[in-house]
Amino acid sequence: MRKMYGIALALCFYLPQQLQAQEEKVDLATIEKIKQEGLQHSQVMDIAFHLTDVSGARLTASPGFNRAGNYAVQQLTQWGLTDAKLDPWGEFGKGWELQKSYVALTAPYYRPLIAYPKAWCSGTNGAVNAQVILVTAKDSTELLQYKGKLAGKIIITERADTVKLGFKADGSRYTDEQLAKMAGAKLEPTDTAAMRRRREMFMRGNGAMRTLTLLKEMARAEGAAAILSSGAKNQDGTLFTQGGGGYKATDPENFTDVMLGAEDYNTILRLVKAGMPVKLDMDIQTKFHTADTKGYNVIAEIKGTDPKLKDEVVMLGGHLDSWHTATGATDNAAGCAVMMEALRILKTLGVHPRRTIRIGLWSGEEEGLLGSRGYVKKTFADPANMQLLPAHEKFSSYFNIDNGTGKIRGIYLQGNEACGPIFTKWLEPFHDLGATTVTVGNTGGTDHQSFDAVGLPGFQFIQDPMEYDARTHHSNMDSYDHLSPDDMKQIATIVAGFVYNAAQRDAKLPRKELPKPRPAGGMF
């Protein structure tokens, strides 16, 4: 009896899902047209070219971001989308751009160095040639021994990391075994022990950051020239460089913080520790933009045509902003280019979606999903109090791309199990393109989480890793040449199919239970 009961219980769960998958309607004729247009007549790489090589780096509120945003608005309008605009989402802070950067070792011999200043740092006020001084303080008390010794110096600090030789390829694709493991994942409760470990690591990291902040304050007060930084992944000519401090309108300019590769950093450190005089040439010029401190997203839409459903919205998007050491190709011009291409495909085919299809190209993602969070807060709900605005009820779904240039292999459900059989059916016409996997698991750190945070269906696609984490993510190698054209065509085609299906189905996509209000700024 117990065995029969278990089988019956399993069937109760399994059969409704199977029936739902069988009942889900897919317009295969239109999907085939989408595949033909997306794979045979793609413009995705031309879009990517304009977002990267033409626009340059796209730090939020920078001239490069503005160039890319204006291009997107113009292009979307040209394709026939309506209400295309740069849409303010709230206060961001200062824009910043790097206008000149030269760093070289001049003593004990000359050698040019691969170096990038961190974003939102001040420059050197002209060319300087300065001696490097080693600071080994671990806390504020130990910092006192360096008081009065930093004027005119370039600071370097101790680090224990060593360069690790690589024995595997930078790039990879998901294997069948890895995808099968994703598909078999189970929805699990929150791991409180893991959260506690994260909190402890955060607190330890905060202590080191406080000491570094005090050192920079002392350095600025005494007239030091700059401080040098590196990181565990900074090797083989690839530097992972982000922000050097605050960017709010009221924040002071950050002290000049220059990122070096581990090989150059360690060379300088070894020479200084050996007692040899080390000098660097440094000429860094930066510019802050404070005339407009608001943050802006790119918003545009294809209006719905069904009298009953046209006010409901299906969204797709990715973040337009990037870091400053390259042109943000895989992070995330790739995501924006494929989303724009998906809409171009639909407009070219002349489809008339029942629901409105809206694109969002977000700013401030690299600083904490700020653009998408600001948009969600003003449009749908504030996660802090969960007071729902009228548009919340009219929302169907949001689809995001932000994991590089690798082709789509499936989709993460974000714990929304009810969408599993629906997406399984939607993926069937794309099995020949390698997209087959539906997993209840989730990937974090992308803008779909802003929608999920207020109970709206938000999803990120599974993408082949390629060399995203190993080489391009937030690095000086994140340029157009690291994009995979065939993969980009595949992504745009599948996204176009998904948003079309979401716009055409009789009902909005199922939702999870509405989340409880969360205090603003809660990390854990």
112-166 confidence digits (pLDDT tens): 999 999 999 999 999 999 999 999 998 999 999 999 999 999 999 998 778 888 8
The neighbouring-strand residues paired with 121 are 254
Residues 247, 367, single domain; the answer is no
CA distance 429 to 496: 12
Three-state secondary structure string covering 275-318: CCCCEEEEEEEEEEECCCCEEEEEEEEECCCCCCCCCCEEEEEE
Secondary structure of residue 185 in the 3-state scheme: coil
Phi, psi of 192, deg, nearest 5: -65, -30
* This prediction's pTM: 0.93
- Assign residue 347 the CATH number of its domain: 3.40.630.10
Give residue 442's pLDDT: 86
In a domain, 204, yes or no: no
Question: E strand or H helix at 391, and its extent?
Answer: helix 390-393
Residues 78, 135, single domain; the answer is no
Residue 462 is which amino acid?
A: I
Residues 241, 297, single domain; the answer is no
* Angle in degrees, 0-180, between the axes of helices 420-427 and 485-504, rounded to the nearest 10: 130
Mean pLDDT, the chain, rounded, equals 92
Secondary structure of residue 385 in the 3-state scheme: coil
Cα-Cα-Cα-Cα dihedral sign, residues 65, 71, 74, 77? negative
Give residue 520's pLDDT: 67
Residues 299, 388, single domain; the answer is yes
- Output the CA–CA distances (angstroms, integers) from residue 105 to 102, 112, 156, 264, in the order listed: 10, 6, 14, 9
In a domain, 12, yes or no: no
In a domain, 14, yes or no: no
Asked if 372 and 365 touch (Cβ cutoff 8 Å), the reply is yes
Which whole number is the average pLDDT over 32-50?
A: 98
For residue 337, the tally of other CB atoms under 10 A from its CB is: 30
The percent of residues in the chain predicted with pLDDT above 90, rounded, is 86
Residues 148, 261, single domain; the answer is yes
Residues 6+ apart with CB under 8 A from 50: 68, 71, 75
Residues 269, 359, single domain; the answer is no
Residue showing tokens 């069904």:
306
Residue 50 is which amino acid?
A: H
Q: Dump strand ranges (E) for 320-443.
A: 356-362, 395-400, 408-412, 437-439
Give residue 22's pLDDT: 54
For residue 178, the tally of other CB atoms under 10 A from its CB is: 15
pLDDT digits (tens, 9 = 90+) for 188-217: 765 545 545 554 544 445 667 888 999 999
- Output the CA–CA distances (angstroms, integers) from residue 456 to 398, 414, 416, 489, in the order listed: 8, 11, 10, 28
CA distance 56 to 76: 20
In a domain, 175, yes or no: no
- Residue 243: domain span: 96-163+209-288
Cis-peptide into 332, omega within 30 deg: yes
In a domain, 366, yes or no: yes
CA distance 122 to 254: 6
pLDDT digits (tens, 9 = 90+) for 243-289: 999 999 999 999 999 999 999 999 999 999 999 999 999 999 999 99
In a domain, 178, yes or no: no
- Output the CA–CA distances (angstroms, integers) from residue 404 to 173, 369, 438, 472, in the order listed: 12, 17, 19, 9
pLDDT category at 6 given cuts 50, 70, 90 is very low
Give residue 201's pLDDT: 47
- Output the CA–CA distances (angstroms, integers) from residue 140 to 213, 225, 238, 435, 471, in the order listed: 10, 21, 32, 54, 36
pLDDT digits (tens, 9 = 90+) for 297-321: 999 999 999 999 999 999 999 999 9
Residue showing tokens 């040899």:
276
The neighbouring-strand residues paired with 266 are none
Phi, psi of 123, deg, nearest 5: -95, -170
Give residue 162's pLDDT: 81
CA distance 299 to 358: 7
Chain centre distance of CA 322: 8
pLDDT digits (tens, 9 = 90+) for 385-394: 999 999 999 9
**The pair of three-digit structure tokens given for residue 115, joined into one six-digit string:** 């170096």
In a domain, 347, yes or no: yes
Asked if 241 and 324 touch (Cβ cutoff 8 Å), the reply is yes
Residues 155, 219, single domain; the answer is yes
CA distance 397 to 381: 15
Residues 6+ apart with CB under 8 A from 169: none
Number of domains in the chain: 2
Residues 264, 225, single domain; the answer is yes
pLDDT category at 19 given cuts 50, 70, 90 is very low
Residues 314, 410, single domain; the answer is yes
Give residue 301's pLDDT: 98
Residues 245, 146, single domain; the answer is yes
pLDDT category at 322 given cuts 50, 70, 90 is very high
Residues 6+ apart with CB under 8 A from 344: 43, 47, 79
- Output the CA–CA distances (angstroms, integers) from residue 20 to 23, 421, 425, in the order listed: 5, 6, 9
pLDDT digits (tens, 9 = 90+) for 414-451: 999 999 999 999 999 999 999 999 999 888 899 999 99
- Tell me which residue of 253, 306, 241, 207 sits closest to 103, measured CA to CA: 241
Give residue 123's pLDDT: 97
CA distance 448 to 419: 15
Give residue 190's pLDDT: 53
**The pair of three-digit structure tokens given for residue 388, joined into one six-digit string:** 């729902």
Residue showing tokens 């605050």:
246
- Assign residue 250 the CATH number of its domain: 3.50.30.30
Residues 338, 268, single domain; the answer is no
